[in-house]
C-alpha cells in the first residue's frame, strides 16, 4: 500500500511568533513536490515541524502518516515511520565519525526494536553498502573516516545529506535547499542520484530556489509559500515561471499574504534596530 503524508491546517510558532498560519499539503509515496517561496516565507519552518524540531511548536492542525498523528512522536520515531530531512544547514559533530554515525542511523531505522547498546548491523554488510553508495554519489571513500561535517565544504555537507538519504531509504524525504552551494557538477551528481533513488517507494518534497534539481526530478506539484501559507499549487511549469519572473506575480495575486509578509518584515526590522 502506498503511504500518505498529510499536513492539515498546520500552525507553527517559534517562541511567541506564529510562522506557519494554516498549511495544507498531501503527498503520496512516489510523488515529487516542489516547495518554493521567497526567503523567510516559512519553508524551512515547515521542514523542521515535520521532523519534530523542539523549537517549532505546533499550535493548531496536524501532521500524519497513514493516519498516525506525529504530534507525540520524537524525531527518531518519526524517522522510523519513514520521514527524512536533508538540512539546509547541516550540523557539524566533531568526535563522531561519518561511518559510525551512518551505521547507527541505518541500524536504528532498519531495526526499530533495537535498544540502546544492542548490536549494530553487521560491519561487513554496512561497509559494502556504504562503499557502493559513496561511489555512486561520487563521494571520496576517505570521508567515511572523518568527523561528521567537520571541516567539510558547503558542497561536501550537502552531498553527505544525500548519502544519508540513499542509505536510509525513507518513505518521505524533504530536501531543504540541498542544491544550494553545490557547483554545477555536484548539482548534476546529486540530481541524478536523487532521480535514481526516488521512485514508487519515495515521496520527495524539494525545497529549492533553483531549477537544476527539478530538471532531473520533475515535480508533479509545485507549491508556493508566502507569509506562512501555501498560496498556490500548480505543476512543473509553475516552478519554471517562478524561476523566470520571481514572486511579484504571486504577491499581486495574493495581496493579503503579501501585506502580511511586509508587516512581518517591518516588525523584524523594528526588533533589530
Least Å distance, CB 45 to ligand ATP, is 3
Q: Site for ligand ATP (CB under 6 A): which residue of 31, 37, 134, 144?
A: 37
Give the residue with the Cβ less far from Mg ion, 45 or 133: 45
Binding characters for Mg ion, 39-78, by CB under 5 A (x = yes) = ----xx----------------------------------
The stretch among 40-48, 76-84, 158-166, 194-202 that binds ligand ATP (CB under 6 A) is: 40-48
Nearer to ligand ATP, 17 or 62 (CB): 17
Q: 3-class secondary structure for the chain? A: CCCEEEEEEEEEEECCEEEEEEEEEEEECCCEEEEECCCCCCHHHHHHHHHCCCCEEEEEEEEEECCEECCCCCHHHHHHCCEEEECCCCCCEEEEEHHHHHHHHHHHHHCCCCCCCCCCCCHHHHHHHHHHHHHHCCCCHHHHHCEECCCCCHHHHHHHHHHHHHHHCCCEEEEECCCCCCCHHHHHHHHHHHHHHCECCEEEEEECCCCHHHHHCCCCEEEEEECCEEEEEECHHHHHHHHHHCCHHHHHHCHHHHHHHHHHHHHHHHHHC
Q: Which stretch binds Mg ion (CB under 5 A): 15-23, 27-35, 87-95, 192-200?
A: 87-95
User: Could you tell which of ligand ATP, Mg ion, none binds residue 42, using a CB distance below 5 to 8 A set by kind?
Assistant: ligand ATP
Whichever of 54 and 67 has its CB closer to ligand ATP, that residue is 54
Give the interface segment with ligand ATP, choosing from 33-41, 59-67, 190-198, 247-255 (CB under 6 A). Answer: 33-41
What are the residues binding ligand ATP (CB under 6 A)?
A: 14, 19, 37, 39-45, 55, 88
Amino acid at each position: 500500500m502506498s503511504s500518505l503524508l498529510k499536513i492539515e491546517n498546520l500552525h507553527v510558532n517559534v517562541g511567541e511568533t506564529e510562522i506557519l498560519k494554516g498549511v495544507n499539503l498531501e503527498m503520496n509515496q512516489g510523488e515529487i513536490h516542489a516547495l518554493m517561496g521567497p526567503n523567510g516565507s516559512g519553508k524551512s519552518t515547515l521542514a523542521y515541524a515535520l521532523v519534530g524540531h523542539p523549537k517549532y511548536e505546533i499550535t493548531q492542525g496536524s501532521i500524519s502518516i497513514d493516519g498516525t498523528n506525529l504530534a507525540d512522536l520524537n524525531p527518531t520515531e518519526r524517522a522510523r515511520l519513514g520521514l527524512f530531512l536533508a538540512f539546509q544547514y547541516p550540523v557539524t559533530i566533531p568526535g563522531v565519525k561519518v561511518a559510525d554515525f551512518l551505521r547507527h542511523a541505518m541500524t536504528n531505522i532498519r531495526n526499530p526494536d533495537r535498544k540502546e547498546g544492542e548490536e549494530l548491523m553487521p560491519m561487513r554488510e554496512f561497509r559494502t553498502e556504504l562503499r557502493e553508495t559513496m561511489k555512486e554519489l561520487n563521494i571520496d571513500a576517505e570521508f567515511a573516516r572523518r568527523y561528521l561535517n567537520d571541516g567539510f565544504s558547503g558542497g561536501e555537507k550537502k552531498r553527505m545529506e544525500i548519502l544519508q538519504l540513499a542509505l536510509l531509504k525513507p518513505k518521505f524525504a524533504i530536501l531543504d535547499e540541498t542544491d544550494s552551494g553545490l557547483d554545477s557538477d555536484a548539482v548534476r551528481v546529486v540530481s541524478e542520484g536523487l532521480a535514481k533513488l526516488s521512485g514508487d517507494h519515495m515521496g520527495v518534497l524539494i525545497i529549492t530556489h533553483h531549477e537544476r534539481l527539478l530538471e532531473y526530478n520533475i515535480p508533479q506539484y509545485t507549491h508556493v509559500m508566502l507569509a506562512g501559507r501555501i498560496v498556490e499549487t500548480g505543476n512543473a511549469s509553475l516552478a519554471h515561471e517562478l524561476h523566470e519572473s520571481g514572486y511579484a506575480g504571486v504577491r499581486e495575486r495574493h495581496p493579503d499574504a503579501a501585506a502580511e509578509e511586509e508587516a512581518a518584515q517591518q516588525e523584524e526590522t523594528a526588533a533589530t534596530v
